[in-house]
Amino acid sequence: MRTRVFETIAGLRTALSNARREKPIVGLVPTMGALHAGHGRLMEQARAECDLVVVSIFVNPIQFDRAADYEAYPRALAPDVDFCTARGVDVVFAPPDREMYPESPLTFVEVTRISDHLCGAHRPGHFRGVATVVTKLLNVVEPDRAYFGEKDAQQLAVVTRLVRDLNLPVIIVAVGTVREPDGLAISSRNSRLSPDERAIAPALYRALQQAGQLIASGSPNAANILREAAAAIPADPRLRLEYLEIVGAETMLPVERVDRPVRVAGALWVGDVRLIDNILCG
Ligand code: AMP
């Protein structure tokens, strides 16, 4: 069946309230488009667990801390809709900016503490923008289940906590990271890498794996682990490590000793493309 595309909140709400009578369990997969196999995994899981699958495609301006990144973000609605159709998605919600933000918002959702480190420390206002748009999308779609990738583990932790704190009636489902054969986490931003940059981009995942091996071998000291792991990133003028941290798996706060489940998370600039990745350990 062809995927139905809605650009307005009113149109989407009417269609969903009708469809819900026959298809009661609604799953939402929020995305920013430029869809790839990582998004595909979220859609497949939603398709397996829900009666009606909604994918939102919205490049959310208020979560970008750099205008150039927002402008360079890849956008291509027609192939994205085909991608959704091929995965059995019922509905695509692709609102223009003015539909989501008809006026400058005065209300924001902010999840403190979990947003303090990692990307939160380097991208001011990013998680406030994410938490706000996710809350809006959950209010608009009213899904029973919403799907988020572990690739963006801090985002997943922020959303999980905001749903709990605000008593939103939705189950947040975490989906594992989809990688290229050489380990590079699939991302819409990978398309902006030159062939040379693409070849060195797996350096971040290799550093994470190095940290993971040290943790698995019982090494307890986070600073030592991070020093060795960072050394796995080649000295190359195109590579700049923004952060590499070991954080509690739910708190997203740095640990000094690794004595419980942790995430090792990093952000690496490859040329002018910023890549993030993480692994769960322990
Ligand atoms: P984005 O379009 O980048 O905002 O991502 C939309 C959703 O897809 C988020 O929940 C991401 O965590 C998830 N996602 C992005 N890349 C991957 C990947 N390689 N594997 C699994 N999930 C992903």
Residue indicated by tokens 């998680």: 127
Q: Which residues line ligand 1 (CB under 6 A)?
A: 31-32, 38-39, 41-42, 148-149, 151-152, 175, 177-178, 185-188
Alpha-carbon span 52 to 45, nearest angstrom: 12
Check residue 76 and give its pLDDT.
95
Please give the chain's pLDDT, 282 residues, in tens. Answer: 789 999 999 999 999 999 999 999 999 999 999 999 999 999 999 999 999 999 999 999 999 999 999 999 999 999 999 999 999 999 999 999 999 999 999 999 999 999 999 999 999 999 999 999 999 999 999 999 999 999 999 999 999 999 999 999 999 999 999 999 999 999 999 999 999 999 999 999 999 999 999 999 999 999 999 999 999 999 999 999 999 999 999 999 999 999 989 999 999 999 999 999 999 998
Q: Which of 39, 117, 122, 126 is catalytic?
A: 39
Phi, psi of 195, deg, nearest 5: -55, -40
Atom of ligand 1 nearest to the CA of 178: 20
pLDDT tens digits, 5-57? 999 999 999 999 999 999 999 999 999 999 999 999 999 999 999 999 999 99
pLDDT tens digits, 82-98? 999 999 999 999 999 99
Coil, helix or strand at residue 269: strand
Alpha-carbon span 171 to 147, nearest angstrom: 9
Check residue 151 and give its pLDDT.
98
Check residue 282 and give its pLDDT.
81
Beta strand spans in the chain (E): 4-6, 26-31, 52-57, 91-93, 145-149, 171-175, 239-248, 262-270, 273-281
Centre of ligand 1 to C-alpha 213, Å, is 25
Verify whether residue 39 is a known catalytic residue: yes
Check residue 260 and give its pLDDT.
86
0.95 exceeded by pTM: yes
Check residue 2 and give its pLDDT.
86
